[in-house]
Amino acid sequence: MEEKLTLKQKDSIARKIYKTYQRAQLDILYLNQHYNYYPQVDMFKVKDTSSFYQKGDEKMMKQLERKQNLENFVGLVHTIHTHLSKETYEFIEHEYINFYDASWWCSYYSRASYYRLKHRALDEFIECIRVFWSEEEIMALLK
């Protein structure tokens, strides 16, 4: 990147990505449970107006596109995970994915080791992200 990102900015980028990632996973789960993408005809709701069916078709197409976009995003994050080192992925899993306790690191690391590992992990994460996203897309996450 043209400018050096601070730890706070890197942390903000990672938090936004993983918040979107978790929201996308929940939305995919919801869409799979509540939408049936196979054509159906309910004999009690058949109407003669063609606009009713067009709105239904349009809605179904939008839901399919939305589901595909969500699946692409989740797949992209999974691909990024495969490119990370084991230590970095474990740190990201504790810090961003399965975040239950803010002081999870106290039993594993000293404060200096925690921040050193956080710098290293976020640098590696940002480098992997740069492969898939442009700098403008990454910087837009800071806003």
The reported pLDDT for the residue numbered 137 is 84
Higher pLDDT, 54 or 75: 75
Share of the chain above pLDDT 90, in %: 47
Nearest to 18 by CA among 117, 101, 94: 94
- pLDDT mean over 21-25: 94
Average pLDDT score over the chain: 83
Q: Is pLDDT above 70 for 143?
A: yes
CA separation, residue 4 to residues 55, 63, 91, 127 (Å): 49, 39, 22, 12
Domain boundaries, the chain: 7-140
- pLDDT mean over 83-95: 92
The reported pLDDT for the residue numbered 98 is 86
Q: What angle do CA 35, 40, 44 make, to 5 degrees?
A: 110
